[in-house]
Structure 1
Amino acid sequence: MRPARALIDLAALRHNYHLARARHGARALAVVKANAYGHGAVRCAQALADEADGFAVAFLGEALELREAGITHPILLLEGVFDATELDAVVRHALWIVVHHEAQLRMIETTPLARPLNVWLKVNSGMNRAGFVGDAVAEAWRRLQASGKVADITLMTHFARADEPEVIATPAQVERFKAATAGLPGSRSLANSGAILGWPQARGDWARPGILLYGADPMPGEGNGLQPVMTLESAVMAVREIDAGEPLGYGARFVAERRTRVGLVAMGYADGYPRVVPDGTPVAIDGRPGRLIGRVSMDMLTIDLTGHPDAGLGSRVELWGRQVPVNHIATAAGTIAYELLCNVKRVRFNYIG
């Protein structure tokens, strides 16, 4: 069997959820959109079933997958509905929905519903991607109430730069949110992962931890005690030696400066490991620090075994996880941990904890 796998530590997932809830000090929706950031939405939701106050997904299909798997908790649709016909399923499955633009508001006003909705009304406090602005927030709130089709309204916003503690954008967004919602009753939800960890003034009635649940710290320094949930690993499948001056792999990017012992590893960009990482990108070889050499191929990559005399066929290679933080690989690839985690595919998924 090909040794490439993603090992998912559900105990670490629960640890991170408890940390988020304790830091925020109130209820928290565990964000499991995009297949739980690539970790498996159903398995992650089931692992948090005795812990979480509820879940958040992007759209209706993701919510229905959880309902079909027996998840009975509140589930919030962060994108809301895309057309009025989805409202019937929202009601039947007792889902919560975000309302962030005029067309969604009109759908509620004009569609007969069997039961009233739980709505999260989104405020655009400065990200300028979705939500109502300024006086339009109170007007939307009044229209929802007047429709007679809403049981509860939570007021929410989303931060653009909460993962940048040196930037004042987040406090400014908090103040805009407070101004837009002044005098309106209802629970408040502001804090995403970065705000939970770095901005106490952004705490409200509901938090929405996402990336932090999976152990990728969004804040500089990574000093918040998160535990990585995914370990992406494989094994050495072949070993060879090349002389000084010999090239390795596509494009001959790596040229050996000395006689080099090369390990061939069953992992490539078709599995979700980024093709663009440079020579020297960290790996762990049988628990010891090592480095990638040569360009990542579709199904394979190569590592330097020269300083690892005991390593050979079958040696375990961690691409990211407890020893090699996924944020370090994301930096090497010029991207973010979110993208790497969401892109993992084709490998076996094994769950522990």
Structure 2
Amino acid sequence: MPRPLVARIDLAAIRHNYRYAKQLAPASRAVAVIKANAYGHGAVAVARTLAAEADAFGVACAEEAMELRESGIDNPILLMEGVFEPAELALAERHRLTPVVHSPEQLLWLLQARPGRPLSCWLKMDTGMHRVGLAPRAFQEAYRCLRACPHVADIVLMSHLARADELAHPGTTDQLAVFDAHVRDMDSPQSLANSAAIMGWTAARRQWLRPGIMLYGATPLPADHPASAPLRRGMCLESALIAIRELDAGAAVGYGGRFVCSTPTRVGVVSIGYADGYPRHARDGTPVAVKGRRTRIIGRVSMDMLTVDLTPVPDARVGDPVQLWGDRVDPNEVAAASDTIAYQLFAGLSRRVRLIHQDADADADAS
């Protein structure tokens, strides 16, 4: 019998969320961002479910792109970190990959390349995040060079917004102003909006969108924001109780004895730990659901197991299901209790977690 730990992936929900992103900006095209194994949801399965309607897919590197190409995905693919050496441009040409150009070195490699056909690219400006991207004046000069280069085809102008999830912060407005001031005379499509900007900043919705975390049903905005409500959860992480202990008041639970029972307590042991990607630093009180009823983690998460308080579930038995996040437990709640974000929860799942892909829409069509 296999270990009971599984992540159930709702492909119909992911498809719904992609369509929702495009509904927010009907005139725009959208890159479905499926880097990091589709944020832990299975890149090939997600790409296949979106292939009929995705305008493009976004990955971090050529290795992720080749996994898609080898599985038969034919959609345009954006290399969001660009190429890491000049030789990768030949791979990009051969497999129709579109690199981002975000550094002087990448610009030079592209200008000096001798491809057999023109290559498209996305040119990235640093408007204030100060991670990657060309400074605005260098960006303008790079654009002129690329437009004059005979082996460069289409160019999309892009930047990345550092604080789009903070709707009251002026940083996004400032970044948009910097971008707009330096692309005023450039006749090329633009891309600024990540998930938070798609949902919360109308002014950032340009010709290309880049939905990422919203594809998987986790909102980058407050849960009570109106734009969060239509999202549908893409993953349900489940395991089961593998042991139950009856502990006296004063008994300590787990490594370091972090949690001490204040009353006689029924404790459940769940088959999941930090080696599976569950955050080791989840605090006492982090929510879980046992048999559909919410309760809490007690004690420190260990490599393969964690412990939960069964007081709210007095009828719990070994083998009963435990949801770590999904429809009963918002992943953002788990993230907040672990001093992290839902992105890391999803992308951090290890290969020990079996992915089970389900598509209710396809099942309905087949019936």
| TM-score bracket for this pair, using the shorter chain length | over 0.9
Query: For residue 207 of structure 1, what is the aligned residue in structure 2?
Result: 209
Deviation of 1:307 after TM superposition, in Å, equals 2.4
Which residue of 275, 281, 288 corresponds with 2:286? Answer: 281
Counterparts of 2:241 and 2:52, CA distance in 1 = 39
Give the distance between the partners of 2:128 and 2:241, measured in 1 at CA: 49
Partner of 1:348: 354
Contact between 1:108 and 1:147, CA under 8 Å: does it hold in 2?
no
Match of 2:107 in 1: 105
1:293-308 equivalence runs, <5 A? 293-308=298-313
Report deviation, 1:138.
2.1
* The one of 237, 241, 250 aligned to 1:245: 250
Q: CA deviation at 1:321?
A: 1.0
2:123 to 121, 139, 151: 121
- Name which of 29, 32, 43 aligns with 1:30: 32
What amino acid is aligned across from residue 213 of structure 2 in structure 1? I
Quote how far apart the aligned CAs of 1:62 are.
0.8
Matching residue's letter, 2:121: V
Q: SS at the partner of 2:193?
A: coil
Q: Distance in 1 between matches of 2:91 and 2:167?
A: 40
Please name the residue that 2:6 is paired with: 5
Identity of aligned residues (%): 54
Task: Specify the SS of the correspondent of 2:7.
Answer: strand
Residue 150 of structure 2: aligned partner: 148
Cα deviation per residue 1:304-324 (whole Å; 9 max; x = unaligned)? 112212211111100111111
Q: Provide the secondary structure at the position in 2 that maps to 1:190.
A: strand
Task: Find the aligned partners of 2:150 and 2:318 in 1 and give their Cα distance.
Answer: 67
1:70 is aligned to 72
CA distance in 1, matches of 2:251, 2:164: 47
Aligned to 1:331, which of 333, 336, 355?
A: 336
Q: How does 1:153-192 map to 2 (within 5 A)?
A: 153-192=155-194
Which digits, 9 at most, give the CA deviation of each residue in 1:151-200, with x for residues without a partner? 11111110000011010111111111111111111111110001001000
Does the CA-based 8 Å contact 1:59-1:78 persist in structure 2? yes
User: 2:324 — aligned with what?
Assistant: 319
Rounded Cα–Cα distance in structure 1 between residues aligned with 2:343 and 2:265: 34
In 1, the alpha carbon distance for the partners of 2:188 and 2:98 equals 15
Q: C-alpha offsets along residues 229-269 of structure 1, whole Å, 9 cap, x if unaligned?
A: 11111001111201111111111111111111111111111
Structure 2 gaps, min length 5: 360-367
CA shift for structure 1 position 133: 2.0
Q: Taking structure 1 as the reference length, what is the TM-score of the superposition?
A: 0.98
Which residue pairs with 2:21 in the alignment? 20
Letter aligned with residue 347 of structure 1: V
Q: Structure 2-normalised TM-score?
A: 0.94
When the two chains are superposed, the root-mean-square deviation of aligned CA atoms in Å is 1.0
Shift of 1:227: 1.4
- Distance in structure 2 (CA, Å) of the matches to 1:83 and 1:240: 56
Partner of 1:230: 235
Deviation at 1:222, TM superposition (A): 4.8
Q: Which residue of 1 aligns with 2:295?
A: 290
User: What does 1:43-62 align with in structure 2 at a 5 Å threshold?
Assistant: 43-62=45-64
The answer on whether the counterparts of 2:32 and 2:211 sit within 8 Å (CA) in structure 1 is yes
Task: Give secondary structure in 2 for the equivalent of 1:238.
Answer: strand
Deviation at 1:228, TM superposition (A): 1.6
Alpha-carbon distance between aligned partners in 2 of 1:307 and 1:87, rounded to the nearest angstrom: 58
Q: Is the 8 A contact 1:133 1:180 kept in 2?
A: no
Residue aligned with 1:333, SS: coil
CA distance in 1, matches of 2:254, 2:91: 52
Distance 2:330 2:195 in 1: 17
Q: How many residues align?
A: 353
In structure 2, the partner of 1:81 is 83
**What is the rounded CA distance, in whole Å, between the counterparts of 1:7 and 1:46 in structure 2?**
17
Q: What does residue 261 of structure 1 align with?
A: 266
Most deviating of 256-265 and 134-143: 134-143
Deviation of the 1:104 alpha carbon: 0.9
The alpha-carbon deviation at position 136 of structure 1 amounts to 1.9
Query: Does structure 2 conserve the Cα–Cα contact (< 8 Å) formed by 1:137 and 1:181?
Result: no
For 2:271, the aligned partner's letter is: A
Instruction: Deviation per CA, 1:50-81: give whole Å up to 9, x if none.
Output: 12111011111111110111110010001111
Letter in 2 for 1:253: R
Counterpart Cα distance in 2 of 1:222 and 1:163: 13
Q: Is contact 2:293-2:312 (8 Å) kept?
A: no
Matching residue within 84, 89, 92 for 1:90: 92
Relative distance call for 1:49 and 1:222 in structure 2 (3 A) is: farther
Structure 1: 4+ residue segments shifted above 6 A: none
Does the Cα contact within 8 Å between 1:14 and 1:51 map onto a contact in 2? no
- C-alpha separation between the residues in 2 aligned to 1:198 and 1:336? 18
Distance 2:260 2:283 in 1: 13
